[in-house]
Amino acid sequence: MSTADAPPRRRRKEARPQELLDAALALFVEKGFAATRAEEVATRAGVSKGTLYLYFPSKEDLLKAVIAQCLSERIAEGAAAAAGYSGSASALLRNVLCEWWERIYASPAGAVFKLVITEVRNFPEISEFYTREVVEPAHHLLGDIVQRGIAQGEFRPVDVSAAVHSLVLPLIMVCLHKHSLGACEAGAWPLDGHTFIRQHVDLVLDGLSCRTVPADNAPPPPIET
């Protein structure tokens, strides 16, 4: 019937905004905001130009909605994820970072980093929102774990903030790579995110850990999980 190949008009209404946001995210990340035509977004979402404007008052509002929505989802997840683990600071960081990364990297949300980096200077509202909702919460979450690790003698007394950056920046960089150079056949130069991230986290955690010890009475490293 009519619902087979031409889905019922009314039914789709609720799904439209999300479909448009998905299409917009993909295109904005691929081509940049300015270089993406509103009609392309509409077409990719399977609707006409006019329909886009039924749901978003302007292309710029669409951009903001894309970012806000993506980040909101991630924020909700992030909080939930962090609560689920326990154990040594090392294990905790490994778990939180790797799992968080796997989720982000695989999902379209990993693309938002590129979008933010690309568009903040044109739309400064993004900056405030992103810093408040993403950067700071994440930084505090990880910073606290590192801090605890230091306090418990598990980590060396390093600069907490720097350590967090050392851990996290490459994860973001890999996401950026996936959506920029990594997306180009020519010259895309292999960087397997999954294995790299694990190695990276291990490497940095190694650098953080108090490995140096009197040979004889090496305290048994707290084994977790």
Partner DNA sequence: CATGAATGAGACTTCATTCAT
Partner DNA sequence: AATGAATGAAGTCTCATTCAT
143 contact partners, CB below 8 Å, separation of at least 6: 160, 161, 164
CA dist 20 and 59 (Å) reads: 11
Stretch that binds DNA, among 7-15, 109-117, 160-168, 216-224 (CB under 7 A): 7-15
Comparison of 5 and 217: residue with beta carbon closer to a second copy:
217
Closest Cα partner for 26 from 179, 169, 139, 196? 179
Question: What residue 76 binds from a second copy, DNA, none (CB within 5 to 8 A, per partner kind)?
Answer: none
SS3 164: helix
Q: Burial level of 62, CB count in 10 A (0-12/13-18/19+)?
A: buried
CA dist 216 and 149 (Å) reads: 23
Contact string 29-68 vs DNA (x = CB under 7 A): -------xxxx-------xxxxx-xx--xxxx--------
Question: What residue 37 binds from DNA, a second copy, none (CB within 5 to 8 A, per partner kind)?
Answer: DNA
The answer to whether 51 contacts a second copy (rule: CB under 8 A) is no
CB of 224 vs a second copy, minimal distance in Å: 3
Question: What residue 48 binds from DNA, a second copy, none (CB within 5 to 8 A, per partner kind)?
Answer: DNA
CB of 128 vs a second copy, minimal distance in Å: 4
Torsion, Cα 192 197 198 199, to 10 degrees, reads 80
Stretch that binds a second copy, among 14-22, 24-32, 50-58, 61-69 (CB under 8 A): 24-32
CA dist 74 and 51 (Å) reads: 27
Stretch that binds a second copy, among 15-23, 54-62, 72-80, 187-195 (CB under 8 A): 187-195
CB of 25 vs DNA, minimal distance in Å: 15
Stretch that binds DNA, among 8-16, 84-92, 142-150, 185-193 (CB under 7 A): 8-16
Neighbouring C-beta atoms of residue 44, cutoff 10 Å = 16
Bridge partners of 209, per DSSP, are 155
